[in-house]
A and B are shown apart, each in its own frame.
Chain A
Amino acid sequence: MAAPKDLLYTKTHEWVRLDGDVATIGLSDYAQNELGDITFLELPEIGDAVTQSEPLGVVESVKAASDIYSPIGGEVVERNEDVVGAPELVNQSPYERAWLLKVRVADPAQIEALMTPDVYDEFAEAAAH
């Protein structure tokens, strides 16, 4: 699945969408495909601070536990309890129903470190081989 055009991406396969100063964060289709059947998500609480490129939580599949890295820094203002309760949503709908967190962004200039959809598609394609 090609990366949606309205999102930005990290080298660790998270996505982010910036609406004003609120960023929505999720895992890419490449990430869910690599992880396989996702069974558990450990996410920060509302009010917690997250730091760009630092682990914000953990995603577990049947095979392994992996860190999720924050694509951007800020304060968690919303958490998707649907996906915490049904982690398989990440496999089924990584860009829509399985958003993970909304974060009030501290420094919008941090998005300059992220990849555009076209660059990310090439990056993920190379990583797959």
Chain B
Amino acid sequence: MTQPESAASDRRTPLYDRHVALGARMVPFAGWTMPVQYSGIINEHRAVRNQAGLFDLGHMGQVDVSGSDALTFLQYVTTNDISTLGPGEAHYSLLPNERGGVVDDIIIYRNPDGDGFMVVINAANRDKDVAWLQQLRAARSDLNVSLADISDRTGMIAIQGPAADRITQQLTSLDLSKIPYWRWTSVELSGIVAMMARTGYTGEDGFEFYTSLDDVGPLWDALMDAGQAEGIVAVGLGARDTLRLEARMPLYGQELADDISPLEAGLGWAVKFDKGDFIGRDVIAAQKAAGVSRKAVGFKLTERGGSPRTHYPVHVDGTAVGEVTSGAMSPTLGENIGLALVSADVAGVGKPLSVIVRDKPVSAVQVKTPFYKRAK
């Protein structure tokens, strides 16, 4: 018997009623009903760049990895070098497949007591990732490791923007200046105990919070109240996408896929060949030695003609060389920007591309990324 479609595509986070009360436009996303925008994508985007924004990330998945061989297991199933993580530290990494493609992109947090890890995965990939990790665990019966999908009991929200630190500091006696980027710790905020990480996916400073489902609403309210004077706004998935694109952060299913390698995606910095064996290592190492045939590049349009969008063809001299993976009118830059996966021989900052918008070529030039980098 199969589950009815509605049951699988209409999950709500504990914040659903708050989103509706804020006037959000709710849309289906990866089996959830999530806010795509409240006041408008451009307004929300600018609030995060200039003040602060609050995000419901309750759709994202979390997997606890524990046991005496947890580190050895994660070292084998991810590309980054997890041995470099001290207690309470985190990094960006990838779950590679045996063909040198990518199952998902992830953030791994080492628990502050040094014992065990939490892996944060994309909502759309949750079932696939958990099945994949369970399969690999079963294949490595030599290792003492336990996996627990804790997504259903974990609330996740984020505050991002230049005012995020000031706003959050109002709620806690913990000195936040002692928490650098890529660290997490247990914290009490207005009487709510949460795990707080100085991480995010917007290109701004800020925090991500992991709580029980019961605590996520009160924490959202406390941050919203504390941020009123700073101009905090709720931010939906629409602005989350334009923010991460400006910061050149990949989105799985667009920049990353089962058949796109980390090197092609420009994520070679997150692949550490000298850490020992890992899934797909030989394939990716051979690709590094031979050079990649495709490369992810950033571009901006140099004439009017519409915005670049996912899957639009990319040409050079009238010949197809690849396609757009993400694109948008950048709210910060006021220009049409995008990422494309193209033949390596046409890649290079300053080199031209044409993006085919509704059957018409629109001129573009390759530019350095990220498109936006915050002032330190």
Question: Is A60 an interface residue, CB under 8 A from the partner?
Answer: yes
Partner of A63, one of B43, B238, B331: B238
Mind listing 10 A-B residue pairs with CB under 8 Å? Answer: A36-B238, A40-B307, A42-B306, A60-B306, A60-B307, A60-B329, A62-B242, A62-B329, A63-B36, A65-B307
Interface of chain A: mostly helix, strand, loop or mixed:
strand
- How many residues of B are in contact with the other chain, CB < 8 A? 18
User: For window 16-72 of chain A, which residues contact chain B by CB distance below 8 Å?
Assistant: 36-37, 39-40, 42, 58, 60, 62-65
In contact, B331 and A62 (Cβ under 8 angstroms): yes
In contact, B40 and A37 (Cβ under 8 angstroms): yes
User: Across the interface, which residues of A come within 8 angstroms of B328, CB to CB?
Assistant: 62
Contact A58-B238, Cβ < 8 Å, known A37-B40, A37-B41, A63-B36? no
Interface of chain B: mostly helix, strand, loop or mixed:
mixed
Partner of B306, one of A36, A58, A63: A58
User: Across the interface, which residues of A come within 8 angstroms of B36, CB to CB?
Assistant: 63
Chain A interface residues (CB < 8 Å from chain B): 36-37, 39-40, 42, 58, 60, 62-65
User: Across the interface, which residues of A come within 8 angstroms of B309, CB to CB?
Assistant: 64-65
CB closest residue in chain B, given A37: B42
User: Across the interface, which residues of A come within 8 angstroms of B43, CB to CB?
Assistant: 37
How far does the alpha carbon of A39 sit from the alpha carbon of B301 in the complex, in Å? Answer: 14
CB closest residue in chain B, given A39: B329
Q: How far is the CB of A21 from chain B (nearest CB, A)?
A: 31
CB closest residue in chain B, given A64: B309
In contact, A39 and B307 (Cβ under 8 angstroms): yes
How far does the alpha carbon of A71 sit from the alpha carbon of B112 in the complex, in Å? Answer: 63
In contact, B238 and A40 (Cβ under 8 angstroms): no
User: Across the interface, which residues of B come within 8 angstroms of A58, CB to CB?
Assistant: 306, 358
User: Across the interface, which residues of A come within 8 angstroms of B307, CB to CB?
Assistant: 39-40, 60, 62, 65
Question: Is B111 an interface residue, CB under 8 A from the partner?
Answer: no
User: Across the interface, which residues of B come within 8 angstroms of A37, CB to CB?
Assistant: 40-43
User: Across the interface, which residues of A come within 8 angstroms of B242, CB to CB?
Assistant: 62
Render B347-360 as a binary contact track against A, CB cut-off 8 A, 1 for contact.
00000000000100
Contact A63-B304, Cβ < 8 Å, known A39-B329, A42-B358, A58-B358? no
